[in-house]
A = this chain, B = another copy of it.
Amino acid sequence: MESKKFLLQEKDIPTAWYNVMAEMKNKPKPLLNPKTKEPMKSEDLYPLFSKAASHQELNATDAWIEIPEEVRDMYKIWRPTPLVRAYGLEKMLDTPAHIYFKNESVSPVGSHKLNSAIPQAYYCKQEGVTNITTETGAGQWGAALSMAAKHFGLELAVYMVKVSYHQKPYRRSIMQTYGAQVIASPSMSTKAGRKIITDTPNYQGSLGTAISEAVELAMSTPNCKYALGSVMNHVALHQTVIGLEAEKQMEMAGEYPDVVIGCFGGGSNFAGISFPFMRHNFTGERNTRFVAAEPASCPKLTRGVMQYDFGDEAGYTPMIPMYTLGHNFSPANIHAGGLRYHGAGSIVSQLKNDGYLEAVDIQQLETFKAATMFAQAEGLIPAPESSHAIAAAIREAEQAKLEGKSKVILFNLSGHGLIDMAAYDQYIMGDLANYDVPQSEIDKNISQLEKLL
């Protein structure tokens, strides 16, 4: 067999992140102050994020942002990650397509989230912050930030979406083992949490609600900042190490992707695998397709609207120009907890608007079928989130077979599913369902958005 893995050396870990904003023809519209509706400057974000992250958030001029040495040192714990040719899956599908995946699941916490957790914790520490707060869906981001916070000596409180807190107790324990405090959201510890518990006593939570709680705690705690695991521009920036490495590795493999695929929640791993390849589309040098794979139960890119909206349930965050289902959208309790978010980051939203990427929506059962095929073919059990990318890759590979032509497919395996085995168990037992979102529900949420501006 030819080589399955394309491995880089430590020296090949990127020394700078790629800031796609600098090269976009149409820049994303500005964030707006949630109260005044005025465009925000970096300084306006200081109460929320570290200063460094605030600057990165609005930096639309520098295409390359240097990665601090301390961050790069931490990246060395598991980076560079392997690029893998999925021979087993190709054979199982009997497809002429060549399938590659970037294996971000090899990080100590099992996902790509550490790529941004480390710089966010680092910048806070540098700026003298002592406490940070965050939210987490499936727990991937929370686990990553717990590890990074412990490393840099920060205290961390994590609001974990209630359904995941119960579905995925192991991830809660992972965060606690790293020394973080974990609270099920909605909780009684914040105004935002109390309000939603009062209004909807059995509400199982959403990322939007958990963000509200984490932001509220950060704003009301001395020397405390908030850290977000997706959506924001600075998070997308940090994740570009994925695609930058993958670009070198595809070169080692002697191929270039015709299509690049990432699963899609707020956009962090999608941005990470895509943007470094997309810059060659900007120059006209390449014509790669980019596919965001989102859950059919939370279809912001395929069925939402491009509009200013809050990043959270309670309306604490800046208003973000995004594809959204409305910040009050309540997604079904699918196991891909990391994708249960109402909106897409502003960069990805602008790029979608400008035709640089496509989106597909995929039902839960199709993702678990794809995940099981992948596990049996490649030996790796994928996270339910990442399984959306696998399902989309399989669709592409099957299409290639139908058309009888070769095609190079690259997807990001954003995380492993070893903490999600209860979900696999339900799938094996036939207990998992698909979820449809009635158009009326989307329309209702979106009609409320119009009043915001």
Q: Are A4 and B77 in contact (CB-based, < 8 A)?
A: yes
Q: Are A372 and B177 in contact (CB-based, < 8 A)?
A: yes
Give the nearest-CB partner of A7 in chain B.
B9
Instruction: Tell me which of A168-176, A241-249, A257-265, A281-289 binds B.
Output: A168-176
Count of chain A residues near B, Cβ 8 A: 43
Map CB proximity to B onto A414-431 as digits: 1 under 8 Å, 0 otherwise.
000011011011001000
Instruction: Tell me which of A49-57, A119-127, A374-382 binds B.
Output: A374-382
CA–CA, A151 to B172, complex, Å?
A: 33
B1, B73, B108, B424: the one within 8 Å of A73 (CB) = B1
Q: Are B170 and A375 in contact (CB-based, < 8 A)?
A: no
Map CB proximity to B onto A117-148 as digits: 1 under 8 Å, 0 otherwise.
00000000000000000000000000000010
Give the residues in chain B near A27, CB-CB below 8 Å: none
Nearest chain B CB to A417's CB is how many angstroms away?
9
B5, B10, B375, B422: the one within 8 Å of A76 (CB) = B5
Which residues of A388-417 are within 8 A (CB) of B? none
B3, B76, B177, B380: the one within 8 Å of A428 (CB) = B177
Report how many copies the assembly holds: 2
Nearest chain B CB to A166's CB is how many angstroms away?
13
CA–CA, A172 to B425, complex, Å?
A: 9
CA–CA, A172 to B422, complex, Å?
A: 10
Once A1-B76, A4-B76, A9-B7 are accepted as A-B contacts, the answer to whether A173 and B424 lie under 8 Å apart by CB is yes
Give the residues in chain B near A372, CB-CB below 8 Å: 177
Q: Are A170 and B418 in contact (CB-based, < 8 A)?
A: yes
Cross-chain pairs A/B with CB under 8 angstroms, 29 sampled: A3-B10, A3-B76, A4-B76, A4-B77, A7-B7, A7-B9, A7-B10, A77-B378, A108-B379, A110-B418, A169-B421, A170-B419, A171-B421, A173-B421, A173-B425, A174-B381, A174-B421, A174-B424, A176-B425, A176-B428, A177-B375, A177-B376, A177-B381, A177-B421, A177-B428, A179-B376, A418-B418, A418-B419, A419-B421
Interface residues, chain A, with chain B CB atoms under 8 Å away: 1, 3-5, 7, 9-10, 73, 76-77, 84, 88, 106, 108-110, 147, 150-151, 169-174, 176-179, 372, 375-376, 378-381, 418-419, 421-422, 424-425, 428
Complex A-B, nearest 3 residue pairs according to Cβ-Cβ distance, in ascending order: A170-B421, A173-B421, A108-B379
Q: Are A376 and B150 in contact (CB-based, < 8 A)?
A: yes
CA–CA, A440 to B152, complex, Å?
A: 50
CA–CA, A418 to B417, complex, Å?
A: 10
Give the residues in chain B near A380, CB-CB below 8 Å: 108
